[in-house]
Amino acid sequence: MKRYLPFIIVAAVGLLTLGSGIVLYRAKRPPTLTASTGRSEGRQTDNSSMHIRGHADAPVTLEEFGDFQCPPCGVLAGPIKQLETEYDPHLRVIFHHFPLITHQHAREAACAAEAAGLQGRFWEMHDLLYREQAVWSKAADARQLFNSFAGTLKLNVDRFKKDMESDEVKARVAADQEHGVSLGVQNTPTIFLNNRALEPTSLNPGNIRAAVDAAVKAKPST
C-alpha cells in the first residue's frame, strides 16, 4: 500500500486542480440569458408584466438590469433612449430592477418607478430618476423628492405614496432582482443584446451603439 501512496496523492491533487479550474472557468464566464418571455416565478409570464419600450416584434432586444442610483447606468440612460428613437422600429428595450445594497436610495427609487408604473408612467419616472440622479441620490430624504417627481408627472400623489409601500410594488422589484441573480447578474449596468451579455468593458455609448447597429443589420425586420 505504501508503494502506491505517492501515485494516489498525485492523482488526488490532479483531480482537485481540474475541479478548481472548472469552477473558476464557470465563475469567469459572462451570464447567459434566455428569451425574456416573462418575470420570475410568481409573476405573469406575458410581456405586459415587463417594462418594454419599443415595438414588441422588433428584431433586436436590448435588455438592461439597472440601478437608478448607479452612475454608469445614469450615463447610459440618455444614449440608450436615443438609440430607441434612431433604430425604431427595429429595437426594443427592456428594463429590470437590480438595486445594489451599496446604494442607499436605490431600492426606494425602484419602488418609485414601479409605483409610477401602476399609473402608466413607469418610463417617464425611469427617465426622470436618471435625469435627476445627482440630486436625489445625495438627498437626506429622497422620498420627498420622489413624491415631488410624482407631482411633476401629474400622478395621483396620494396613491403613489401608498403604492410605494405596497407589497405588490416591493414584490415587482424583488422579482426582477431574483431573475437577474438567476442569470448570474452581479453588477449594474448589465446589458444583454439579443440574449447575449455585452462585456462590462464595452458598456459605453459608442460601443453599445456599434453593437446595436450590427445587430440590426444582421436581423432586418421581416
Q: Which CATH architecture has domain 47-218?
A: 3-Layer(aba) Sandwich (3.40)
pLDDT truncated to tens, each residue of the chain (222 aa)? 445 444 444 444 444 444 444 333 333 445 555 445 443 333 333 455 699 999 989 999 999 999 999 999 999 999 999 999 999 999 999 999 999 999 999 999 999 999 999 999 999 999 999 999 999 999 999 999 999 999 999 999 999 999 999 999 999 999 999 999 999 999 999 999 999 999 999 999 999 999 999 999 998 765
Give residue limits of the domains in the chain. Answer: 1-30, 47-218
Query: Do the Cβ atoms of 133 and 167 come closer than 8 Å?
Result: no
Residue 196 cell numbers, joined: 447575449
Query: What pairs with residue 97 in β-bridges?
Result: 66
Instruction: Note the residue count of the chain.
Output: 222
